[in-house]
Copies of this chain bind each other. A is one copy, B any other.
Amino acid sequence: MHELLLKHIAMHISLSPDEEQYFLKAVTLRKLRKKQFLLQEGDISKGTAFVIKGLLKVYSMDRNGVEHIIQFAPPGWWAGDMKSYKTRQPATLFIDAIEDTEILWIRREDLDQLYTQIPVLERFFRILAENSVINYQERLIGTLSLPAAERYYAFCSKYPSLIEQLPQKYVASYIGVTPEFLSKMLKNKTA
């Protein structure tokens, strides 16, 4: 059940079997049905999720009620509202399940304790956060400097499996165009 998480950790640091078991004790399995919320705007995020099955989306909603997806979380990815998690302020993000999903959940208090008990976990989450910075920087550069069609191609080559799995409108939201415009773009490309 938890092999995916351990494998993921082992990619960046090494834990002893004892440490692994100790870490897993802090983790609980949670299941979400399609469309179920893991977090809504206004909630206070009390932990972080590691997806082992299914697919989550993390998004904000603008004042017109339009969703802007800032991240998809397929198996092997983490999802959370970092700001709410760290500051204990109400979340500005939503997280929900695009399809039935299973996650491993770590509460903040538990992770904070683990940091002192297994200090190398600091390194692990440092590396995760640094990789995340790189990703958001690249995405920001894309939205500032590339036309929509190229953002779409970039998405396809970065996440080829998601393209097949996802309703087109979510891809549109992620790359920052309306579903209508993406539809038109794809038609013209083929013609």
Which of A126-134, A155-163, A180-188 contacts the other chain? A126-134
Q: How far is the CA of A66 from the CA of B123 in the complex (A)?
A: 37
Main SS class of interface, A: helix
**Interface 1/0 per residue, A136-170 and B, CB below 8 Å:** 11111101111000000000000000000000000
Structural contact, B145 and A144, CB atoms closer than 8 A: no
**Interface 1/0 per residue, A77-98 and B, CB below 8 Å:** 0000011001000000000000
Asked whether any CB of chain B lies closer than 8 Å to the CB of A115, the reply is yes
Q: How far is the CA of A133 from the CA of B126 in the complex (A)?
A: 11
Residues of A39-75 at the interface with B, using a CB-CB cut-off of 8 Å, are 60, 62, 66, 68, 70
Given A60-B145, A68-B144, list of 13 further CB < 8 A pairs?
A70-B144, A82-B134, A83-B138, A86-B130, A86-B131, A86-B134, A122-B122, A126-B126, A129-B133, A132-B133, A133-B136, A136-B140, A143-B144
